[in-house]
Copies of this chain bind each other. A is one copy, B any other.
């Protein structure tokens, strides 16, 4: 910066003004500075800037697993929105291990970020509130009652209900849910499934499972050996659904002719023509965008009261659901 100032024949302060795009610099000087900066290949040192200005242009993002396409998509959206607003992301992973997440969070905070976004964290609420005392915090796929914390969630209850309504409309009455257990969002989906079933006077069947391919297959095998396979399945997520479909087909049952299956998440899997899975979509891009917007509102001091976004999911009907088989329909 010193060098640029010398080369352009101005003071350091003027260089600073130009680099920040201040309007109160004469066109002549501005050009001289820009030219000098270009010749010297100078670009301002972000860290020094944020130290001096006591403002930060970095946003901390903690994700528990990037290999999970859901979070990868959200982070992608986050990054797009952040860079459009002139912020940079510092990212780390916590792996859904409380101790690792705490240290990841600590490491993010030591950058004195403008704000922090936590994707489906498992750290204790107290840790989140402590973080919120240092900078705005937005939670994705996790709820909080703290007033300094905003949350953005998929309405898993509504999503599961959507699946049930769809199947009910197709004539299905015996519907089972393959439950995701402790996985992110599973509790809400389970709740939504139960509620929607009861609303129709149906008995909700919930089978313990996990959000994986193998677990979906296992759950179906259990249902088969128990001897009363439902006519439709609401899987915990798409992977689970695919596993379930495999197990069904391996046992001579056709999807959707014999059994209908609905997934959840609308991952890239679901749209493959090979699977063409009916599934619940929860726009991950919007999730990311909303989270970033909420954070920036806080950062800019435009809002102090917490906001709780609950995204409305939608159903994407493809080829794994069909009207209930005739025999069933008659019974």
- For A273, give its contact among B76, B106, B243 (CB under 8 Å): B243
Q: Give the size of the chain A interface in residues (CB under 8 angstroms).
A: 51
Give Cα distance in the complex from A214 to B276, angstroms: 12
Contact B44 A47 (CB under 8 A): no
Q: A47-B51, A243-B272, A275-B274 are in contact. Are A88 and B107 (CB under 8 A)?
A: yes
Give Cα distance in the complex from A80 to B64, angstroms: 12
A50 at the interface (CB under 8 A from B): yes
Report chain B residues within 8 Å CB of A213: 271-274
Query: Distance in Å from the Cβ of A99 to the closest Cβ of chain B?
Result: 13
Contact A104 B89 (CB under 8 A): no
Chain A contacts with B in 209-245, Cβ cutoff 8 A: 213-214, 217, 239, 242-243, 245
A48 at the interface (CB under 8 A from B): yes
Contact B92 A79 (CB under 8 A): yes
A58 at the interface (CB under 8 A from B): yes
Query: Distance in Å from the Cβ of A247 to the closest Cβ of chain B?
Result: 8
Q: How many copies of the chain does the oligomer comprise?
A: 2
Report chain B residues within 8 Å CB of A293: none
A257 at the interface (CB under 8 A from B): no
Give Cα distance in the complex from A79 to B61, angstroms: 12
- For A88, give its contact among B46, B65, B80, B92 (CB under 8 Å): B92
Give Cα distance in the complex from A130 to B48, angstroms: 22
Contact A46 B111 (CB under 8 A): yes
Pull 20 A–B residue pairs with CB atoms less than 8 Å apart, ordered by A: A44-B110, A45-B51, A45-B112, A46-B110, A47-B50, A66-B66, A67-B69, A69-B72, A75-B91, A79-B91, A83-B107, A88-B90, A88-B107, A90-B91, A213-B271, A213-B272, A214-B273, A246-B272, A269-B272, A274-B275
Q: 6 extra interchain contacts, Cβ-Cβ under 8 A, other than A65-B76, A91-B91, A242-B274?
A: A66-B73, A67-B73, A88-B92, A213-B273, A239-B272, A242-B272
